[in-house]
Amino acid sequence: MIDRQLHRSFSVVVCAYTEERWEDILAAVASVRSQSMPATETLLVVDHNETLRTRLRAEYAGASAADGGEVRVLANAGPRGLSAGRNTGIAAARGEFVAFLDDDAVAEHDWLRYLAAGYGDARVMAVGGRTLPAWASGSRPAWFPEEFDWVVGCTYRGLPPGKVRVRNILGGNASFRRTAFDAAGGFATGIGRDGDKRPLGCEETELCIRLGEALPHAVLLIDDRAVIHHKVPESRMGFGYFRSRAYAEGLSKALVARSVGAGKGLESERRYATRVLPAGVARGLRDAVRGRERGGAGRAGAIVAGVLTTAAGFLVGSARTRRGAVTFSSGPISPVASSASSTPASARESPRGAVV
């Protein structure tokens, strides 16, 4: 049972970039404002889209603590992209803890309460949760393996269940102590999502590894009771997106390995590739032979294709990072005022490595 007396001060950051997700954004904010443990505030950070920011400010002009919590709408004060948007939210946050929710996801009623429960130990610097796919078609494509649910931003088969210690948490359902950013800096810009460009990722992995380096005794947890539901549109349910996202993941892993070293950057991935994925292929083929479940052969084939495509992305990304074409950066974050013109420390970042 959750301690009903437990209450911690949470700022929840939701980053948005397009009016095409208007209804999704409203649903995400509504799920935060209806939490069993209320958030101190919801910070809506808009990524270089003044039309969307103006519309959201009008939508939440009357929002207050009395009716679900204050909602502040901010402009991304750094370069375009998800990492700088999150850094803007961190810089403006008033809470002792900062949680992140994707703009196309909704949190279950006790999401924040379960995240908060993980911080009973002062060593715990980050707590993440479980992200379930909400398929636009109403069901998972028969060929789509659960081992690759990270392709659509969700918890995948192979992660340990329950409340467990992990190397890194997943960024769309995550929380950190505010002091974690004081120790490790913010999310690295130049890595991760940038609107509708190639679907890079791993910015939260890089940050979590960097946090472990800055605070060797830090504990990072996943509590799979802290559940959100992440929308998966039709455009992300096809094999073309699957391959594109897998390739981008390989590129991203190359950046992380360049930043923090291959040992730490790939330690979890080695277990996943050598144990979880072969088991998934065997399970798919077994289901196909026994005729027990539709799509078994397709899932096995998708796992093999996903591994090869990710590996190709990693090789290409490694070659590009060795050439040092472009830098990506991370740096300290200092509290700022809540005005949209405030500039977080992303403008003062120092280079850490190369991006593709």
Distance CA 114, CA 204 (A): 20
Angle of CA points 342, 346, 351, to nearest 5°: 160
pTM for the predicted model, two decimal places: 0.86
pLDDT value for 327: 52
Helices (H), 120-197: 178-184
pLDDT in tens, the chain (356 residues): 455 445 689 999 999 999 999 999 999 999 999 999 999 999 999 999 999 999 999 999 988 777 778 999 999 999 898 999 999 999 999 999 999 999 999 999 999 999 999 999 999 999 999 999 999 999 999 999 999 999 999 999 988 889 999 989 988 899 999 999 999 999 988 665 554 455 566 788 889 999 999 999 999 999 999 999 999 999 999 999 999 999 998 888 887 777 666 555 466 677 788 888 888 898 888 888 887 667 899 999 999 999 999 999 989 988 877 776 545 566 667 555 444 433 333 333 433 433 22
pLDDT on residue 330: 62
Please report the DSSP string for 243-270 in residue order. Answer: HHHHHHHHHHHHHHHHHH-HHHHHHHHH
Q: How far is residue 115's CA from residue 129's CA, in Å, rounded to a whole number?
A: 7
Q: 3-state DSSP call for residue 13?
A: strand
The answer to whether residues 91 and 342 touch, using CB atoms and an 8 Å cutoff, is yes
Residue 6: how many CB atoms within 10 A of its CB?
12
Q: What is the pLDDT of residue 324?
A: 65
**Do the beta carbons of residue 167 and residue 220 sit within 8 Å?**
yes
Query: How far apart, in whole angstroms, are the C-alpha atoms of residue 329 and residue 331?
Result: 7
CA distances from 102 to 28, 46, 50 (A): 8, 12, 20
Is residue 352 within 8 Å of residue 259, measured between CB atoms?
yes
CA distance between the termini of the chain:
46
Give residue 273's pLDDT. Answer: 84
**Please, what's the largest Cα pairwise distance for the chain?**
62
A 10 A CB-CB count for 189 gives: 27
How many beta carbons lie within 10 A of that of residue 325, not counting itself? 10
The predicted structure's pLDDT at residue 263: 55
Mutual orientation of helices 22-33 and 50-59 as an angle, nearest 10°?
40
Given CA atoms 203, 330, 251, 215 in this order, what sign does their dihedral have?
A: negative
β-pair type (105-107, 219-232): antiparallel
Q: Which runs of consecutive H residues, i.e. helices, occur in the chain?
A: 22-33, 50-59, 82-92, 111-117, 178-184, 203-214, 239-260, 262-271, 277-290, 296-323
